Amino acid sequence: MKGLYPDLDSHTPVLQNKKAKTILVAEHSGFCHGVQKAVDKTLAVGEASDKPVYVLGQLIHNQQVIDHLNAKSIITVNSLDEVPQGGMCVIRTHGAPPEVVEEAESKGIEVSDATCPDVRLVQNKAIQLAEEGYTVVIVGKEEHPEIIGIKAYSQRVPGSKIVAINKVEEIAEKLKDAPRRRIGVVSQTTQMEENFFEMVKELSKVAKELKVFNTICPATYFRQSSALELAGKVDFMVVIGGKNSSNTTHLAEICLAQGTETIHVETYKELEGCEALQKADIVGVTAGASTPDWLIREALDYLQSL
């Protein structure tokens, strides 16, 4: 959060609006290092290119950032078929299956890899577990692009068995056709810690040998911890970030689980007319790891104007 306001460098930054409503800002919120690196790299690629640059899938899960990139001729596409031969394709922060990269290169498409280093770590750990003969359990949403990439890399190991499980209730069904004696576990980088540890606990009842890598990224942990702490201090929480962002959605879930009334918005405009916000004396603000500073700043400006 440093840099948004001169006075936002304390442990829990405090602002006040015209009606003396107190606004507390989570210590850890907004762009993480992986997202910032990916956005900076993609913008640099765009500036250096004299033709459109294509990103395979949303670079990050924030529509406002995607719109900003599109205005700079950095175009989001859903398939390599949309990228012309000889073009430039950026692999998004969530990564992509190795087959996609190979296909792009075979078509003469130049590839710039913006995969988050933390996501790359999970890919490597999953490969390691598969090579060591473990049934690999990835704790996360099977349809999430990060999980799709992790599975694709580790499934290249001959004889590997890889499953994605997001809920404890899914364990029996997902593992019914898999060897259970030796299970290795990794996590989607944006997974909720509580869910991850509950999954590990239940898998320990299934496996004779369990090897676990906690691959939840540090940025996710710090954002979740500071959101939980802040939610206990306020009357109302504002969570800013993409509605399709897993890490932002988890922040809202954490605040609600704390018993604090919470709203998840993409921009400050969704705060207009919110009666619960108007009634609250103390408002907390946090934002997902894919939320840029300028969106947080706009929301804070709006809250101060009330």
Please list the active-site residues.
146
Q: Which two tokens stand for residue 261?
A: 């009334």
Torsion over CA: 5, 6, 10, 16 (sign): negative
Closest Cα to residue 90, out of 108, 72, 119, 110? 110
SS3 212: strand
Q: What letter does residue 221 receive in the DSSP assignment?
A: H
241: left (phi over 0), alpha (psi -120 to 50) or beta: left
SS3 249: helix
Give DSSP secondary structure letters for 138-194.
EES-TTSHHHHHHHHHHTTSTT--EEEE-SGGGHHHHTTTS--SEEEEEE-TT--HH
SS3 239: strand
Q: What letter does residue 257 receive in the DSSP assignment?
A: H
**Strands laid side by side in the 182-187 sheet:** 162-165, 135-139, 182-187, 209-212
- Radius of gyration over every alpha carbon of the chain, rounded to an integer in angstroms: 21
Cα separation, 235 vs 262, in Å, equals 9
Contact criterion met (CB below 8 Å) for 234 and 261? no
User: Position 22: which residue type?
Assistant: T
